[in-house]
Structure 1
Amino acid sequence: MHSVVLQTTIDGLVDAFAGYLTNAIGFLVGFVATYLVGRFVLVPLVRRVLDRRGFDRTVLSLVDSVMGALVVVFALSIGFMSAGFPRFLTAAATLGGALALAVGFAAQDLVGNFVAGVFIIKDKPFEVGDWIEWNGNAGRVEDIDLRVSRVRTFDNERVTVPNGDLANNAITNPVAYDTLRQKFVFGIGYDDDIDHATDCILEEAEGIDGILDDPAPSVRVTELGDSAVGLQSRFWIDEPDRSDFVRVRSAYVQAVKERFDEEGIDMPYVHRQLTGEVEVLESVADDGDASAAAEN
């Protein structure tokens, strides 16, 4: 009797051990096979596709990290399924979905800036070293990260801008092309000769180092102000860096101003004169004193 019970117990232990061993082998085979396929086939394939489409190295590195994590998660899932634990997989998937939903709601701005950073790196509306303008701000891009971009203003201040602000708003990139056109309005008096003033403006543009001859500078009458006729000069500069733009513009405006002074061309400015009579206020004050005396 005891031998029969002992034999039954041993057989049960052996069956249980065999079942656990089968489950462990199934998990190991499923995990290893899935991981190897994903790590050495799927990840390189995705990387080659993105590389051929010209994605930045930062994006490729990010894709490698994300794909590596996904491969591990997927390999664990296949391993548990191969081991015969579908309930565990279902519970893990439910828990993971709930956590992902909670994290998504809590980090909407963070995720949005992250995605915007990926598109900025891919689409390249600007690059490191470019001078950009956005929402009334301006500066030179020092660094482009996946969440933020760092811009140094021309007052030597660092501005850390969330990538979402740059991706969702209009950005002006004055140095995106090889040349840049600039405009400046010179005001002359109504009694001055417009043609003569135009010739002076064009001649001074020809003598400024940095203003291109092709396209040639031009002048147009653009406004008739309260006290001046506006002549808008349009000129092009090569390799439009911020420092070059400021230097060329300053030298050009100074040269035109000095030429106008030599030629006797007036550059009027708006002035206003306030007039009034103090006697009115004094009269009111005297009337008040007289009324007070009469009451007394």
Structure 2
Amino acid sequence: MQGLAEKAAAFLPSVLGALVVLVVGLWIAGRIKKISANAMKRTGRIDETLAGFLSSLIHYGLIALVLITTLGVFGVPTTSFAAIIGAAGLAVGFALQGTLGHVASGVMMLGFRPFDVGDYVEAAGVAGTVKHIGLFTTEMATPDNKKIIVPNGKIFDDIITNYAGYDTRRVDLVFGISYGDDIDKAIALIKSELEKEDRVKVDPAPVIEVDNLGDSSVDIICRPWVDRADYFGVKWALTKAVKQRFDAEGVSIPFPCRSIYMEKDAA
């Protein structure tokens, strides 16, 4: 009993030191997690999801460091232990390289912000309104309200077209008139309908020009600038208004025709 008591007394300082290091280290790790998360959120430039992910990553890294330090204070050799953790981490990394790639892409997307929630984008061969940006996937809704979930790796490795990236957009319209119609009259009619539309911007000024001499029509382009939210409303309204004005003023819009010739059998 005396020998056991002496051995316990010899180990007691190591045990107490290890407990102190463990408790204090875990407390410090928790505090650093909260401080780092709040600091990233206060910047206003880091997404809340990304801030939570990075703070958790820091937290778990500090916990691993505290555990290794605690084992060292307790007297356990930590060199081989660190090597085992490194080998295990490497094995897990190889096993999850595809998933980790999506996570890395998610972190890059949340950091660089090529688009935000609510933007209409085209990426990875699909297009829709962004509903949620996660660490693994991005959720989008198509115009007919279909839910699309795309891995972040495919989005970040592809070309991203953000239709909501700027406050203004240009509406591209083409009106074809017949070769017998008055071009200047048609342009004046289109300009008149543009001036009636309050949503069309004055600066930059709209462009109305003859763009192409087609097989059956003279194509006139109309390119007004509008606010992003008014894009489709202006496009549909102008298309209808110009067509009705052309009809009222006798300007024809040609369409393809096909002639069929029947030959009689000589016999």
Could you tell me which amino acid in structure 2 is paired with residue 109 of structure 1?
G
Secondary structure, aligned partner of 2:161: coil
Q: Deviations over 1:38-84 (max 9, x none)?
A: 44357625753674472122222222222221221111101111122
2:45 aligned with 1:54: yes
Q: For residue 3 of structure 1, what is the aligned residue in structure 2? A: none
2:70 aligned with 1:79: yes
Counterparts of residues 1-40 of structure 1 (less than 5 Å): 10-11=2-3, 13-40=4-31
From 89, 95, 110, the equivalent of 1:106 is 95
Q: Deviations over 1:128-170 (max 9, x none)?
A: 2222223553222222222112111111111112222222222
2:226 aligned with 1:237: yes
Secondary structure, aligned partner of 1:269: coil
Cα distance change on mapping 1:135 and 1:167 into 2, 3 Å = closer
Q: For residue 232 of structure 2, what is the aligned residue in structure 1? A: 246
Q: Deviations over 1:82-116 (max 9, x none)?
A: 12211xx2333233222222221222222122122
Q: Is the contact between residue 132 and residue 172 of structure 1 (CA under 8 Å) also seen in structure 2?
A: yes
Secondary structure, aligned partner of 1:231: strand
- TM-score normalized by structure 1? 0.79
Q: Is the contact between residue 126 and residue 132 of structure 1 (CA under 8 Å) also seen in structure 2?
A: yes
4+ residue runs of structure 1 moved beyond 4 angstroms? 272-280
Counterparts of residues 61-76 of structure 1 (less than 5 Å): 61-76=52-67
Moved more, 137-146 or 147-156: 137-146
2:241 aligned with 1:255: yes
What's the RMSD between the two structures over aligned residues?
2.8
Unmatched segments (≥5 aa) in structure 1: 1-8, 284-296
Cα distance change on mapping 1:42 and 1:202 into 2, 3 Å = same
Moved more, 141-150 or 46-55: 46-55
Secondary structure, aligned partner of 1:60: helix
- TM-score normalized by structure 2? 0.86
Cα distance change on mapping 1:256 and 1:135 into 2, 3 Å = farther
Q: For residue 189 of structure 1, what is the aligned residue in structure 2? A: 178
Q: Deviations over 1:21-45 (max 9, x none)?
A: 2331232233234334444357625
Q: For residue 191 of structure 2, what is the aligned residue in structure 1? A: 202
Distance 1:76 1:188 in 2: 79
Q: Is the contact between residue 132 and residue 139 of structure 2 (CA under 8 Å) also seen in structure 1?
A: yes
Q: Is the contact between residue 43 and residue 68 of structure 1 (CA under 8 Å) also seen in structure 2?
A: no
Residue 183 of structure 1, CA deviation: 0.5
Q: Is the contact between residue 32 and residue 75 of structure 1 (CA under 8 Å) also seen in structure 2?
A: no
Residue 260 of structure 1, CA deviation: 1.7
Distance 2:32 2:231 in 1: 51
Cα distance change on mapping 1:272 and 1:135 into 2, 3 Å = farther
- Structure 1 or 2, whichever has the larger Rg, is 1
Distance 2:50 2:69 in 1: 28
Distance 1:235 1:135 in 2: 30
Unmatched segments (≥5 aa) in structure 2: none
Q: Is the contact between residue 32 and residue 59 of structure 2 (CA under 8 Å) also seen in structure 1?
A: no
Distance 2:42 2:219 in 1: 53
Q: For residue 217 of structure 1, what is the aligned residue in structure 2? A: 206
Distance 2:152 2:183 in 1: 48
Q: Deviations over 1:224-244 (max 9, x none)?
A: 222222211101122x23xx4
Q: For residue 136 of structure 2, what is the aligned residue in structure 1? A: 147
Distance 2:197 2:209 in 1: 19
Q: Is the contact between residue 43 and residue 67 of structure 1 (CA under 8 Å) also seen in structure 2?
A: no
Q: Is the contact between residue 102 and residue 136 of structure 2 (CA under 8 Å) also seen in structure 1?
A: yes
